[in-house]
Amino acid sequence: QVQVVESGGGSVQPGGSLRLSCEASGPSSSRYCMGWFRQPPGHEREGVASISTDVAAPYYADSVKGRFTISQDNAKKTLYLQMNSLKPEDTAIYYCAVDNVSRCIRNWYRPAAYNYHGQGTQVTVSS
């Protein structure tokens, strides 16, 4: 059973930074997708950033390009999301997801493309 655990959320003022971490454990594949998603209050879950072993460049939602950076520590199987220049509209529960590339690669920016999601971590941006 694959387990996904996020950490690093919190409260920050506009313009501030946070780094989220995601650890995935359990059965694993050498080819996979991993992604960050978020669900703002009253809205559906949306894609933020994704990486895959089968794609050279990561995906970023337009709303976070230039401010967020997705990265990975392969040895630790840990995924990160560095969030800079945070805005109030970035307030949301942030989720990490992982799956085998055969299942997720066609729609790797969509939450529904992944079978394994974490419980989420709250990010609040407010003055």
At residue 76 the predicted structure's pLDDT band, cuts being 50, 70 and 90, is low
d(CA 64, CA 85): 10
* pLDDT, tens digit, 9 for 90 and up, residues 89-98: 999 999 999 9
Q: Give first-to-last CA distance, the chain, whole Å.
A: 40
* pLDDT, tens digit, 9 for 90 and up, residues 5-60: 999 999 999 999 999 999 998 777 888 999 999 999 999 999 999 999 999 899 99
